[in-house]
């Protein structure tokens, strides 16, 4: 795990760059074009690329060395940012949309490759702890990225922000390049993986639709969670402006900082639970956690006083952190040759849900209040979570246990949660 902690550090540094980039690039696009429509189109291109990249990434992760793919994705994003900086101002507008394609595709590829590799890097028995460390690192990176983005852009300018962002990807690639880690099962070589990719894709689809309906339901929940997540992301600035028209950023900053603290606390609790019991939480914990998360986000927009609202945001962050780790750890039970395709499908579903939710939420906010919009989309997620719980009860699976067919007649069982 010592080597993996260095990987977490590198991943956290690149995540910081991504969150800094998320703010700086969106503002930069608006400043360069002077058009809110162009800024929205930039986000749409990036999200659309992320959706399509999920399926492509699944194929690449199944066929090629995952470590090299992650390094290539980091270097691709760094190079794209540097090209934008060096380009003449007249050609920057068209390059912005090329950058949206590169960043959207590379970030998805990196996520799919890393998630698929965790059981091989740390061992299947340590995957939950490893996923918790990654979520903690990204939560800290989110706090730092969002908190510093405004200061970096305002005080140092876009050039410094983009150079800093490119530097974070170079750091991540360098750390990963230096680590002697294995990202694929020993039984597979590069040639075997390439030959097995088409068969693995067909097997993963059969695994989803025939052998593991619970996995299909979990991925569907994550897609609808994307709808809910987009609703509170879009509604938050509007709600903050209603609370304090003179300082709308205050509530947003408090909200995200508290949410991130909640995710970090959840990872510590999960780690202690795993050490004490030797078992990981399973599908029922995922469904319950997703219900709690969506319910908490709805309450945040209900107009409560500041302190109860922030406490609820803390709960939302904790539930979000738990569901993220449980979900990823559950999908990682899939055999290695099928795992990349499965995570590719998952990434496409999550990004599609988030992108569609951005469009729906933006249009609904023209006629309805932030609370109504968030309650409707997160309420849909709650309904689907309850349906997943009903499915688990009907299958009479033990709490935290799931059945995942492998080749032949064997199966992998999770412990009780």
Does 251 fall in a domain?
Answer: yes
Look at 142-156, 177-191, 355-369 and tell me which has the smallest mean pLDDT: 177-191
Between 190-194, 235-239, 400-404, the lowest mean confidence (pLDDT) is in 400-404
Share of the chain above pLDDT 90, in %: 38
Domain boundary among 156, 184, 212: 184
Q: Is the pLDDT of residue 151 over 50?
A: yes
Instruction: Identify any residues that bridge with 361 across adjacent strands, giving them in sequence order.
Output: none
Q: Confidence class of residue 249 from pLDDT cuts 50, 70 and 90?
A: confident
Band of residue 417 on the pLDDT scale cut at 50, 70, 90: very low
Give the closest residue to 57 by CA, choosing from 106, 125, 19, 13.
106
At 78 the pLDDT is 93
**Are 216 and 326 found together in one domain?**
yes
120/260 same-domain check: no
Q: Which of 7-21, 26-40, 105-119, 286-300 has the lowest mean pLDDT?
A: 26-40
Q: Give the number of residues written for the chain.
A: 417
Instruction: Among 184, 218, 238, identify where a domain stops.
Output: 184
CB 184 within 8 A of CB 336: yes
Residue 68 in domain: yes
Three-state secondary structure call for residue 301: coil
Per-residue pLDDT, 22: 80
Same domain, 111 and 24: yes
Within-domain flag for 215: yes
Taking alpha carbons only, the member of 161, 27, 168, 174 closest to residue 85 is 161
The answer to whether residues 180 and 209 belong to one domain is no
- In a shared domain, residues 167 and 239: no
User: Where is the domain boundary, 163, 184, 205?
Assistant: 184
- Report helix, strand or coil for 413: strand
Are residue 384 and residue 331 in the same domain, yes or no?
Answer: yes
Closest CA to 148 of 268, 256, 285, 229: 256
Q: Decide: helix, strand or coil at residue 405.
A: strand
Residue whose structure tokens are 């990987």: 7
Mean pLDDT of 102-122: 92
Average pLDDT, the chain: 83
Residue 26 belongs to what domain range? 1-184
Lowest mean pLDDT among 3-12, 279-288, 375-384: 279-288
Q: Which of 61-75, 128-142, 390-404 has the lowest mean pLDDT?
A: 390-404
CATH of the domain at 9: 1.20.1250.20
Rg (CA), the chain: 21
In this predicted structure, the answer to whether residue 88 has a pLDDT above a threshold of 70 is yes
Q: Is the pLDDT reported for residue 40 higher than 90?
A: no
Instruction: Of 185, 133, 123, 113, give the one whose Cα is nearest residue 342.
Output: 113
Range picked from 150-164, 289-303, 380-394 for highest mean pLDDT: 289-303
Give yes or no for residue 342 having a pLDDT over 80: yes
pLDDT mean over 270-296 = 84
Do 161 and 306 belong together in one domain?
Answer: no
Instruction: Report if residue 155 sits inside a domain.
Output: yes
pLDDT of res. 398: 46
With cut-offs at 50, 70 and 90, classify the pLDDT of residue 77.
very high
């Amino acid at each position: 795990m010592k080597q993996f902690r260095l990987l977490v550090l590198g991943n956290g540094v690149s995540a910081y760059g991504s969150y800094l980039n998320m703010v700086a690039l969106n503002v930069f696009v608006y400043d360069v074009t002077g058009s809110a429509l162009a800024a929205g189109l930039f986000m749409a291109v990036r999200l659309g690329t992320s959706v399509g990249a999920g399926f492509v990434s699944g194929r690449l992760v199944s066929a090629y060395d995952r470590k090299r793919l992650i390094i290539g994705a980091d270097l691709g994003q760094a190079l794209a940012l540097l090209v934008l900086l060096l380009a003449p101002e007249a050609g920057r507008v068209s390059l912005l949309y090329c950058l949206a394609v590169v960043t959207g595709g590379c970030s998805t590829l990196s996520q799919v490759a890393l998630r698929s590799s965790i059981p091989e890097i740390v061992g299947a028995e340590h995957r939950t702890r490893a996923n918790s460390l990654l979520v903690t690192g990204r939560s800290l990176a989110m706090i730092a990225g969002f908190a510093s983005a405004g200061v970096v852009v305002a005080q140092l300018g876009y050039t410094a922000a983009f150079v800093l962002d490119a530097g974070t990807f170079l750091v991540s690639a360098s750390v990963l390049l230096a680590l002697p880690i294995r990202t694929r099962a020993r039984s597979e070589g590069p040639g075997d993986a390439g030959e097995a990719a088409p068969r693995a894709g067909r097997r993963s689809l059969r695994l989803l639709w025939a052998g593991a309906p619970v996995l299909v339901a979990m991925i569907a929940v994550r897609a609808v969670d994307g709808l809910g997540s987009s609703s509170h992301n879009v509604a938050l600035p509007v709600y903050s402006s209603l609370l304090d028209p003179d300082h709308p950023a205050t509530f947003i900053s408090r909200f995200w900082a508290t949410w991130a603290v909640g995710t970090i606390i959840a990872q510590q609790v999960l780690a202690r639970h795993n050490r004490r019991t030797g078992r990981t939480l399973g599908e029922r914990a995922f469904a319950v956690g997703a219900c709690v998360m969506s319910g908490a986000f709805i309450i945040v927009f209900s107009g409560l006083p500041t302190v109860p609202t922030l406490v609820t945001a803390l709960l939302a962050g904790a539930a979000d952190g738990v569901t993220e780790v449980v979900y990823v750890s559950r999908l990682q039970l899939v055999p290695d040759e099928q795992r990349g395709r499965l995570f590719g499908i998952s990434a496409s579903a999550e990004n599609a849900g988030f992108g569609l939710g951005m469009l729906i939420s933006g249009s609904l906010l023209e006629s309805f209040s932030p609370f109504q919009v968030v309650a409707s989309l997160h309420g849909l997620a709650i309904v689907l979570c309850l349906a997943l719980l009903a499915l688990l009860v009907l299958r009479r699976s033990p709490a935290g246990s799931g059945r995942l067919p492998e080749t032949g007649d064997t199966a992998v069982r999770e412990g009780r949660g």
